[in-house]
Structure 1
Amino acid sequence: MIRSFVPDSCHGCDPRLRVRRTSTQESPVSPRFAPRPRPVRTTAAAVVGGLVLALAATGPVASAERGSPAAANAASAATAQPYLVGRGIADVTGETAEAGMMGYADLAQTSTGLHMRQRARAFVIVDRTTGRRILHVNADVGMIFQSVRDEVLARLAARFGETYGEANVMLTATHTHAGPGGFSHHNLYNITTLGFHDKTFRATVSGIVAAAERAEADLAPADLRVATTQLADASANRSKRAYDRNPAADRAHFSAGGTDTASTTLQVVRDGKVDGVINWFAVHATSMSTDNRLVSPDNKGYAGYLWEHEHEGVDYLDESHDPDFVASFAQTNSGDMSPNLELRPGTGPTDDQFENTRIIGSRMVGAAQRSLTSPTRSLTGGVDSRLVHVDLSDVLVDGQFTPDGQAHRTCPAAFGAAFAAGSTEDGGGGLPIFKEGKDGGNPVVKLIADALYTASPALKACQSPKEVLLPVGALDLVQQKLPVQLVRVGDLYVVGMPAEVTVVSGLRLRRAVAEVMGVGLDQVLVQGYTNAYAHYVTTPEEYDAGEYEGASTLFGRYELPAFVQTVHGLAAHMKAGTTPPLGAKERDRSAGQIASLQGKVVVDDPHLFKQFGAVLTAPAAAYAVGDTVSVEFSGAHPNNNLRHGSTFLTVERKVGSTWQRVADDGDWETKFRWKRDGISASRITITWDVPRGTPAGSYRIRYFGDARSLLGTVRSIDGTSPTFAVR
C-alpha cells in the first residue's frame, strides 16, 4: 500500500480551495478535467483598457481628447484596475531517457523516464497608463542559461517586435535537479550530458516562448495584491557554520535556525477573483536526490501542480482555452536553504524522497493560500525595469560597498577545493578527498593555490582565503559577463540575480534597493536563478568559512559587494528615470556546440515475436485504493517525440460505453519508466498509484509512443492494457 498523494491536511491550505476526492460516487473526470465556466474577458473595462494601450502606443493624447468622457472613463477604469495581466502555461519537458540530469553533477544520474512534466509559467503585467510591461517566466528547469535567454529574446522579437527586450523580460528557474541537462552553451555544464542536447534546448526555449505567447493573449484588467505569510517547516540552513559568521544585525532578520521563513505571494485579481499567483519562497528544489532517475519538477513544480490541477481543476492537455488558474512558485535567496530538513539527501520530513517532494510542495501551497485570507497590500504605481550586463571578472568595487571601506576588485572565476566536496546536505556527490571548510581541503590543492597566489598577488587579494581548485574563468568554461536586473511592479521591486544567493546576501541586496527607492525592506525581493547562471553569491564573512557555497562564489571575496554596487546603481537609474548603458554581453557560442550522442536513437524494434504496443506484463484483475497498478509494454525510445501538449500514457475509466481519461503523465500518481532491452527494443513500464477517492469501476492503461525506423522515419505507436477493476 502507498500513501495517498492528496494530503490529509494541506498544512494551512484554505479548505474551500481543495477539490474533494473522498466520495466514491464522484467521477474522477469531474471536477478534475471538466473545464470551469470561462469568464468573458471582453468587458467594458477590457475595451477601455485596450483603447488606453492603443493611445499610449501612438503618443500623447491630444488636449481636447483628454477632457472627453471617453478619456475620463478610461482614467477611471485604469485607476480601479490599474494593470492588465495575462497568464500562460506551457510544457518544457526535455529528453526523458538517456540524458544526464542537471544539478548534482553526477555522471551516473541519467534520465530513465518521467514522473511529472516540467512546465513554464508566464505572467505579463502591463501598466494601463503608460503601456509599459514586464514578462515574468518561471520554468521547471535547473538553470536559465544565457543560451536559453538569447534564443527566447530572438523568438519574442520575431513574434512581437520591440515589445519585449533585454530589460523587461525576466526568465527564472525553479532549480529542479531532476530535469535533463545539456542546454547550456558553456561546456562546464554539459559535462554530465557528454555534450550539447539540442532537443532539450529547443524544448526549453519553445516552452518558455509558448507560455509567454499565451500570457500575452490572455491580457485582461486586473488588480495586484501582495501578502507575506510565514513558513517555518519547509527549509533548513545547510551552511549554518558560514551563516553564523555574519553580524548579529543581519542574523536578527531570520529565524533562530538561520532560515528565511517569508513566503511572499503576488495575487492577480481579475473579475473579482484571484486567478493567478506568483509565490516567492527560499528553498532548494532538491527534495529529489541524486538517486532519482525520473524527470521531475521537484517540490516547486509539485506546488504549482497541486494548486492548479488538484485545487482548481486545470487540465494541462486541454489547450483549447487558457487555464483558469496559474500558480508560479518561484525562487528567491535560497542559496543556503535546503528542503532536506535532516540535512541529509532525501531526508526530512521522511526518508522517502517522493513523499518529501509532496510534503514540502504542499507546505509551500499552504503558506501561499494563507495569503488569500491574510492582510494584503494593493500595488499602486507603474511598471518599470532596468538591466545591465556586468563583467564580474573585473569590477572595481567602491569602498562604500565593502566590509573594510576600501576599494577592491573582483577577478576571473575560480572554484575552490570545497566545490569538489559537493553540497553533502542536498546530495551533491563530490569527491571524498575534498571536504568543506577552509581547514579541510586537499593538501595538494593548497600547494597549487599557494603557488597561484605567489605568482599573482592580485588573485590572492581577490580569491583568498579560497584554495583555488579550478580557474574556470581563465579556461573559458563559465559565463563571466552577467545580466543583473531590477523590475518594478507598483511599489514591489524584484532584483533578478543570475546566481544562487544566500539569505544574508539577499538581505544586503534588498537593503541597497530599499535605501535608494525609499521603500520598506518588505517591498523588495531577490530572485535568484534569473537570466543566466554563475553559481553562488555569499557574503564576505560566509566566503571566509570555506564551505561549498563560498568555494562556489566564483569571482572572489568581493563578489557580493560588486553585485550590491550594481543593484544600487540600477535602483538609482530607475528612480531618476534614466537608462544605464546595457554593457557588453556574453558572446554568442551557439555555433561551437558539440552534439551529444547521449539518448540518440538509431532504430527502434519491438520485442521478438511482438508488435509495438504489445503488453509484456499485464495488470492484476483488481486493485484497491492505495495499491499500485503496473503494466509493461513493448515500446520505443521516448526521445523520438517529447510529446509536448500530449502524453506518454493515460489512465482511463469506463463510463457507460466510453472511456474517460482520469490521469496522464503529468500527474503525481503516475510514473513512466523506460529501459533498453537488447540492442533496439524498449521496455516501457507504466505505474499508477490508485489515489484516495477513486470510484470503483473498470479501468485501463494506455501507452503512446513514437518509433524510429532504420531509414529515420518516425511513426506513432500505442498499446492498451487489459481491463482491471478498482474496488
Structure 2
Amino acid sequence: MTAKRPPSRSRRTVLKAGAVTGLGLAGAHLAAPGAAAAAAGDGGYLVGRGISDATGEVAEVGMMGYGRFDQQAAGLHTRLRARAFVVVEEASGRRVLLIVADSPMIFESVHRAVLRRLKQAYGDLYTEQNVLITATHTHAGPGGYSHHLLYNTTTFGFHKATFEAVADGLFEAARNAHEDLAPSELLLSHGTLTGASVNRSRTAFDRNPKADRDHFPDAVDPLTTLLRVERDGRTVGAVNWFPVHGTSMSGDNRLISADNKGYAAYHWEREVHGVDYLADGSPVFVSAFAQTNSGDMSPNLDLVPPTTPADFESTRAGGLRQYEAAAAQAEGPGARLAGPVDSRLVYIDLSDVTVRPEFTGDGRTHRTSKPCVGAAMAAGSLEDGPAFPGFDEGENPFWDAISNSLIYTVSPELKQAQAPKDVFVPIGEMNRIYPWVQERVPVMLMRIGALYLIGVPGEVTVCAGLRLRRTVAGIVGAPLDDVLVAGYSNAYFHYVTTPEEYDAQQYEGGSTLFGRWQLPALQQTAAELAVSLRDGTSLPLGPEPPDLTGKALALQPGVVLDAPPLFRKFGDVLVRPRETYRPGERVEVVFAGAHPGNDLHRGDTYLRIERRDSGGAWHTVADDGDWTTRFHWARDGVAASKITITWDVPQGTPSGTYRVVYHGDAKSLGGKVSPITGVSTAFQVR
C-alpha cells in the first residue's frame, strides 16, 4: 500500500523493559583523579549537550573498517549518532566544542564540511581552533564519505548521500548543544577497567623499553576516564574515554551498527534514562563513549576474529562493560573542574618533518617521508579481521624483494625513512597524480579545566599514546591521567606506533604510513602546542590541506527504479508473523518494499513496533534505532526489494496486541520518490 508516513519527530512510548546489567563490575576499579582542577580562575562553566542522527546509507554501500570489497551493507541494526558537548568558561567567554561520532573515521572532508556549516550558522564562534571531532571507530558503518581515494576503494567511489548525512548529523548535534547551553558543573574521575580489551599486537608491544612496558603490566591500557555534566546536583551528561577497537562486529556482518561504544551510549541513554531519540526537545541525558589510544587494543579477548551472528552478543557485552565502569564512576566521587578552557590546532606536512634529537630517542635528527603502505597493512589485523590473502603480519619476503629491488632503488631516502617496512604501495608518489591519502594533517590540544585532550587523526597504540601524554603532561604540569589522547580526530592517516613497534612490522607498523619517525614528529608538534597553551601564545596555522570538495570520484550509480514483486503491491506482507509470541522470542515479518537508499530516514525510522492500547490506538514501543530490532534489505530480481524486519521481544514486555509497521520510499522510472507503508497482521505477546 502507498501512504504518508507519520511525522519524523513524533513522540513515542518507551517500552519499559528491564535494563540489562548482568555483567557486573568485577573488572572495574575506581580511583580519584590525579589532582584537583587547576587554580587559574575559579569561575563556572556553561555546558550544552546535543544528539543527532548521523546514519548514512544502509544498503549497497561498502562498509568501512575491514577493507573488504565483499562487505556491502544490507540493512540496519543500530543508528549511528553524533553527540556534542559545548563548554564555555564564563569568566573569559572562551569555548570549546567536542563532537563524538559513531563513525568509522573522521576524514578531512567531514571536518571541513562541519566547520563550514558552523561558520554559516555562528560566524567565528566555532572554528578549527576550538572544535574537536572524534570517531568511535565502528567497523560497521557505511564508507564512501572521504575525499581521498584510498578510503573509497571498497565503496566504489564517493557516496554523496552518506557524506551529507554524516556532515549534517554532526553539525546538528553541535547546534543542539549550542542551544542547550546552561550553567553546569563538570566533574572528572578516573578508574580502571580490565577484562574489556586485550593487546592484539603483543609481539610489537614487547619491543618497547621497560619503562613503557612497566606502565602497562598486562599490555593493555585500563584507564577509564569520565567527564560528567551536572545541573542542580543531577547528572545530565557524560563523556567516557576508554581505549578499545570498534571491532566487536565481524567483517561478515552486513548490518550498519554503532558497535560496542555505540551500544554503551545507547544503553545509558535509552535503556537506563529512557531517552526518546525521535522526540522534540533536549534529552534528559546524553552520554558519549570516546576513543583514546586504541590502536592495538582489541575487544576480542580470545584474539580470534568475531563471527556473525555471535558478534551481536559480544558487541552488547563489550558495550555493557564500558557502561558499567562509567556508571560506577558517575555514582562515585569526582574532582570539580575549574579554570581555563582553551585549545590550539596546527597543520603539519607529516611527509616532510625534521624531527629534533630530543624527540627521536637516539640523539640524532631524523626525517619523516612520503607515505607508504606496508605489506603487513594489506594483511589486516589477523586477530580482529584479516584483509587480503597472501599477506602476513611481520615478514613478507616477496614484497621485501620488490621493495629493495624496485622501490628503494629509485629512492634510497625512502628506504632510510621507511625501513624495515616492506613497501606494498608507495602511495605518496600516487598522491602526485590523484589524492589517495592526506599528508597535511591537523594536530590539536584542547584543555577543559584540568583535562587535556591531544587530538590526533590516527590510531595510536597504547605505548605511542603514553609517550604523547608524557610529552604534554611534562610541559603543562598535569598529572598523567589527566592528559588523554583523542584518537581518530579531525582527519585520518592510519596508525601511530612507537619506533620500536614499527620495527616489528605487524599490521599497525605496516599501517604507520610516514615511517619510523612518525610518532616523534607528532610528539614534537604536541610539545609546541603544549608550550603555546601553557604560555598563552599563538602559533601559525601551518600548511593547510587542499580543499578537495567536488573532486572525489563517484563510480557507483544510484537507484534507478523500484518495482514490487510480480502480482504484488508495495507494502504487501510476504511473510506474516505468528499469532502469539513470548518474551525472548523473535518476531519476523517480510514486506514487499523498496531500496532504502531513496530516503535515509535520518532522524526518522524505517520501522516501528507498535502496541494497541485499550482504546484501540497504536503506540510505538521500538523503532530501527533500538537494539531489539533489525532491518534487512535484499534485492529480489532486478528492481524489487524484500524487507525483513525482526523484533526480539524483550523480557518484561507487557502482554498485549502488537504489530510491525514498515516505512519505505519507492522510486519511479521518471525519478519520483514516493513514501510507501506496510503493516503486518496483529499478534499477541503473552
2:278 is matched with which residue? 317
Q: 1:592-627 CA deviation, whole Å, 9 max, x = no partner? A: 2222325x1111111222211110000011011111
* Distance (whole Å) between structure 1 residues aligned to residue 206 and residue 474 of structure 2: 25
* Distance (whole Å) between structure 1 residues aligned to residue 79 and residue 634 of structure 2: 19
SS of match in other structure, 1:590: coil
1:343 is matched with which residue? 303
Q: What is the identity, as a one-letter code, of the residue corresponding to 2:589?
A: V
1:446 aligns with 2:401: yes
**1:126 touches 1:134 (CA, 8 Å); kept in 2?**
yes
* Distance (whole Å) between structure 2 residues aligned to residue 187 and residue 589 of structure 1: 11
**2:208 touches 2:500 (CA, 8 Å); kept in 1?**
yes
1:635 is matched with which residue? 593
**1:5 touches 1:668 (CA, 8 Å); kept in 2?**
no
Unaligned runs of 5+ in 2: 1-16, 27-39
For residue 468 of structure 1, report the CA deviation from its aligned partner: 1.2
1:612 is matched with which residue? 570
TM-score, structure 2 as length reference: 0.93
SS of match in other structure, 1:474: helix
Q: What is the identity, as a one-letter code, of the residue corresponding to 2:70?
A: A
Q: What is the identity, as a one-letter code, of the residue corresponding to 2:392?
A: K
Q: How does 1:534-683 map to 2 (within 5 A)?
A: 534-597=493-556, 600-656=558-614, 657-683=616-642
SS of match in other structure, 2:262: helix
* Distance (whole Å) between structure 1 residues aligned to residue 600 and residue 18 of structure 2: 26
* Distance (whole Å) between structure 2 residues aligned to residue 200 and residue 500 of structure 1: 23
For residue 444 of structure 1, report the CA deviation from its aligned partner: 4.2
* Distance (whole Å) between structure 1 residues aligned to residue 507 and residue 484 of structure 2: 24
1:222 aligns with 2:175: no
Q: 1:305-359 CA deviation, whole Å, 9 max, x = no partner? A: 00000000000010x2111100000000000000011111117xx9810000000
1:208 is matched with which residue? 170
1:357 aligns with 2:315: yes
2:37 is matched with which residue? none
Of residues 106, 111, 116, the one that matches 2:68 is 106
* Distance (whole Å) between structure 2 residues aligned to residue 5 and residue 240 of structure 1: 40
Q: What is the identity, as a one-letter code, of the residue corresponding to 1:220?
A: A
Q: How does 1:18-37 map to 2 (within 5 A)?
A: none
**1:417 touches 1:442 (CA, 8 Å); kept in 2?**
no
* Distance (whole Å) between structure 2 residues aligned to residue 244 and residue 419 of structure 1: 20
Which portions of structure 1, spanning 4 or more consecutive aligned residues, are displaced by more than 2 angstroms?
4-8, 10-13, 78-81, 444-457
**1:309 touches 1:315 (CA, 8 Å); kept in 2?**
yes
1:698 aligns with 2:660: no
Q: 1:52-110 CA deviation, whole Å, 9 max, x = no partner? A: xxxxxxxxxxxxxxxxxxxxxxxxxx988710000000001110000000111100000
1:400 is matched with which residue? 358
Q: What is the identity, as a one-letter code, of the residue corresponding to 1:316?
A: Y
* Distance (whole Å) between structure 1 residues aligned to residue 185 and residue 23 of structure 2: 27
* Distance (whole Å) between structure 2 residues aligned to residue 649 and residue 428 of structure 1: 34
* Distance (whole Å) between structure 1 residues aligned to residue 103 and residue 261 of structure 2: 10
Of residues 321, 328, 337, the one that matches 1:370 is 328
Q: How does 1:195-274 map to 2 (within 5 A)?
A: 195-256=157-218, 258-274=219-235
Of residues 79, 86, 94, the one that matches 1:132 is 94
Q: What is the identity, as a one-letter code, of the residue corresponding to 2:353?
A: V
For residue 457 of structure 1, report the CA deviation from its aligned partner: 2.7
Amino-acid identity (%)? 54
1:88 aligns with 2:88: no
CA RMSD of aligned residues (A): 1.5
Of residues 411, 424, 431, the one that matches 1:456 is 411
1:495 aligns with 2:454: yes
TM-score, structure 1 as length reference: 0.88
* Distance (whole Å) between structure 1 residues aligned to residue 670 and residue 24 of structure 2: 54
For residue 157 of structure 1, report the CA deviation from its aligned partner: 0.2
SS of match in other structure, 1:152: helix
For residue 176 of structure 1, report the CA deviation from its aligned partner: 0.6
* Distance (whole Å) between structure 2 residues aligned to residue 526 and residue 538 of structure 1: 13
* Distance (whole Å) between structure 2 residues aligned to residue 496 and residue 714 of structure 1: 42
Unaligned runs of 5+ in 1: 14-77
Report the number of matched residues. Answer: 652
**1:449 touches 1:469 (CA, 8 Å); kept in 2?**
no
SS of match in other structure, 1:699: strand
For residue 213 of structure 1, report the CA deviation from its aligned partner: 0.3
Q: What is the identity, as a one-letter code, of the residue corresponding to 1:595?
A: A
From the superposition, tell whether residues 615 and 654 of structure 1 become closer, same or farther in structure 2 (CA, over 3 Å). Answer: same
Q: 1:564-602 CA deviation, whole Å, 9 max, x = no partner? A: 00000000011111111001111011222222325x111
**1:81 touches 1:222 (CA, 8 Å); kept in 2?**
no
1:75 is matched with which residue? none
SS of match in other structure, 2:630: strand
1:11 is matched with which residue? 24
Q: What is the identity, as a one-letter code, of the residue corresponding to 2:420?
A: P
Q: What is the identity, as a one-letter code, of the residue corresponding to 1:12?
A: L
* Distance (whole Å) between structure 1 residues aligned to residue 226 and residue 550 of structure 2: 41
SS of match in other structure, 1:211: helix
* Distance (whole Å) between structure 2 residues aligned to residue 276 and residue 659 of structure 1: 32
1:292 is matched with which residue? 253
**1:482 touches 1:498 (CA, 8 Å); kept in 2?**
yes
For residue 415 of structure 1, report the CA deviation from its aligned partner: 1.1
From the superposition, tell whether residues 466 and 79 of structure 1 become closer, same or farther in structure 2 (CA, over 3 Å). Answer: closer
* Distance (whole Å) between structure 1 residues aligned to residue 132 and residue 154 of structure 2: 27
Of residues 142, 151, 162, the one that matches 1:189 is 151
